[in-house]
Amino acid sequence: MKGDRISAGRMLAFAGRNVKEILRDPLSPVFCAGLPLAMLLVLTLVDRSIPPEAGMTLFRIDRLSGGIAVFGETFLMLFLALSVSGDRASSFLIRLYATPMTAFDFTAGYLLPVLGLSLVQGIGVGAVSLITAAVSGSGVKLSAAGITLLPVALLPSALFFAGLGLLFGTLFSEKAAPGLCSLVISLGSFLGGIWFDADGVGGVLLKICRCLPFYYCVKTARAAVALDFSAEEMGTPLLIVCVSAALITVIACACFRARMRAE
Of 189 and 59, more confident = 189
What does the pLDDT look like over 127-168, one tens digit per residue?
Answer: 988 888 888 766 778 888 999 999 999 999 999 999 999 999
Give the count of beta carbons closer than 10 Å to the beta carbon of residue 227: 12
Q: How many CB atoms lie within 10 A of CB 24?
A: 8
Nearest to 43 by CA among 71, 82, 9: 71
36 neighbors 72 (Cβ within 8 angstroms): yes
SS3 state of residue 140: coil
pLDDT score at 61: 86
Alpha-carbon span 193 to 190, nearest angstrom: 6
- Lowest average pLDDT, out of 72-76, 94-98, 215-219, goes to 94-98
Check: CB of residue 196 under 8 Å from CB of residue 190: yes
Res 75 pLDDT > 60: yes
**Residue 214: which pLDDT band, with cuts at 50, 70 and 90?**
very high
* Mean pLDDT, residues 227-255 taken together: 95
CA 50 vs. chain centroid, Å, equals: 29
Mean pLDDT of 9-26: 81
Indicate if the pLDDT at residue 47 is higher than 90. no
Per-residue confidence at 53, pLDDT binned at 50, 70, 90? low
Residue 138: the pLDDT is 66
